[in-house]
Amino acid sequence: MKRIVQKHPLAIRWFHWINFPVLAVMIWSGLLIYWANDVYRVGWGNTTVLKFFPDSFNKALNIPFRLAEGMSFHFVFMWLFAINGLLYVCYLFFSGEWKLIFPNKKSLKESWQVVLHDLHIRKGLPPQKKYNAAQRVAYTSVVVMGLGSLITGLAIYKPVQFKTLCAMLGGYEWARIEHFTLTILFTLFFMVHIVQVLLAGWNNFRSMVTGFDVVGDLPKMQATDEKSTEEPPSVSTQTV
């Protein structure tokens, strides 16, 4: 017999798995658009440490000369990204799930402890509910970043109609830089997220599909009572 708990509500699983391909299309079509004026780099003076993006990268992903295509996908899928994201935020708000995701007073300090723990520098994790402090910070940041992408995107898309918004973001060129930077941050989030999911293992991944987490085994004898109220043994709290 197994002890399971409901972890991810159905709505959150839908939002999550819809967002994944939609965001992928947004980033891909964004790359097609960015290529037409690919001026960003990390460096100083004539020294470039990292060019966004190297020719090999563009070639490998078949990016060059597809600006029109990129725009047509970007300005269609933006609606899916926006609607899915707004529904997700509404859901968090009305279901009370936000309490499990938004950082609380301790989260900033604790998230550092979680990072040290995950890097095997520190032993033991602070107590947590559904998400640990680092997850709270990361998952909330990513929602704010999504909102940031919508706002900076709107400012680049219609800089005359939304002149005030554009000015608040530092003007047209800054809005474009901010939009680009947010995209880079999304991909960094994605990479860390994937690593953490791999490390957390099957049970955790399964919960994002099935909704439940298996938290432990029960010997057969005890399991006859479906409404067992005994204290569960402590279980792993590593969740992603």
Site for other proteins in 147-176 (CB under 8 A): 158-161, 163, 167, 172-173, 176
Q: Is the CB of residue 146 less than 8 Å from the CB of residue 116?
A: no
**Could you say which of 37, 46, 56, 62 contacts other proteins (CB under 8 A)?**
37
Site membership for other proteins, residue 214 (CB under 8 A): yes
Q: Which CB atom, from 21 or from 54, has the smaller least distance to other proteins? A: 21
Site for other proteins in 65-94 (CB under 8 A): 67-69, 71-73, 75-76, 79
Q: What does the block give as tokens for 239? A: 């969740």
Site for other proteins in 171-210 (CB under 8 A): 172-173, 176, 206, 209-210
CA distances from 124 to 50, 102, 145, 199, 237 (A): 37, 22, 30, 16, 10
CB of 121 to other proteins, least distance (A): 25
Q: Which CB atom, from 33 or from 133, has the smaller least distance to other proteins? A: 33
CB of 188 to other proteins, least distance (A): 23
CB of 164 to other proteins, least distance (A): 10
CB atoms near residue 199 (< 10 Å) = 11
Alpha-carbon distance of 10 to 189, in angstroms, equals: 23
CA distances from 156 to 69, 153, 160, 196, 209 (A): 18, 5, 9, 34, 36
**Could you say which of 1, 108, 116, 198 contacts other proteins (CB under 8 A)?**
1
CB atoms near residue 231 (< 10 Å) = 6
Site for other proteins in 107-146 (CB under 8 A): 129-130
Q: What does the block give as tokens for 99? A: 């309490």
